Amino acid sequence: MNGCRPRSQPSAPRELLATTRVALASLFVAGLVAIIVMAFTCGLTLASQGEAGSSRDDGSICVASVPLPTPGELSLGNPTGGGRTFEYSIQIDGGKIVDIPHDKGLSITKLALNGKHLVKIRKDGKVVESFRFSFGELHSTDLCLFFKSLYETWNLWTGKEARTNCDCAARK
C-alpha cells in the first residue's frame, strides 16, 4: 500500500446526519405552516375590513371644494396665484354635469358599488381630466376627490386617507 490507511466510517455521523435532515425537514414544514396560517389570518382580516367598509349598498364621493384664485405669481407659497381660474364641474357616468363649489364640498351619493365608474372633470366647460374607478378596487364605499392647485391635478383617495382634504358632511 502507499502508506494511506483506509478510514473506517463510524455510524454515529451518519445517524447525526439523518437526524439533522429530519429536523430541518420538520422546521421547513413548520415554517410553511406558519406562513399559511399568517396568510389565512391576514386574508380573514382584510375580508372582514372589506365587509365592514361595504355594509352599505351604495357608494359616495366627496368632491372637495376648489379654491378661489389669489393675486400674485404662481409659486409654492401661492399655489392658487398666476391669474388662473378654478371653475370646475364634474360628471360621473352619464349623470348630469355639476359645478364644483368654492366654499364647501360636493357630496355625490347613490353610486353603484359594482362595476367601474367614469369620471369627467371639466374646466370652463372643456373636459380636462377623465378616469375610471371602482369602489371594489379602492376597498371603500366613501371616497374623496380633491384638487391640487399648484399643478392643477385631481386625486381620488379613500375617505379615511383624505379626511383633511375633503370637506363634505359625514354620511349617516
The C-alpha cell at 96 is: 348630469
Report d(CA 81, CA 84) in Å as an integer: 7
Q: What local confidence, expressed as pLDDT, does residue 43 receive?
A: 44
Q: What is the mean pLDDT of each run of 10 residues along the chain (172 residues)?
A: 55 57 56 50 40 65 89 84 87 94 92 94 94 93 90 86 72 41
Q: Which residues contact 101 (CB under 8 A, 6 or more apart)?
A: 65, 66
Report d(CA 68, CA 81) in Å as an integer: 9
Q: What residue ranges do the domains of the chain occupy?
A: 12-53, 59-158
Report d(CA 104, CA 151) in Å as an integer: 21
SS3 8: coil
Name which CATH class applies to 59-158: mainly beta
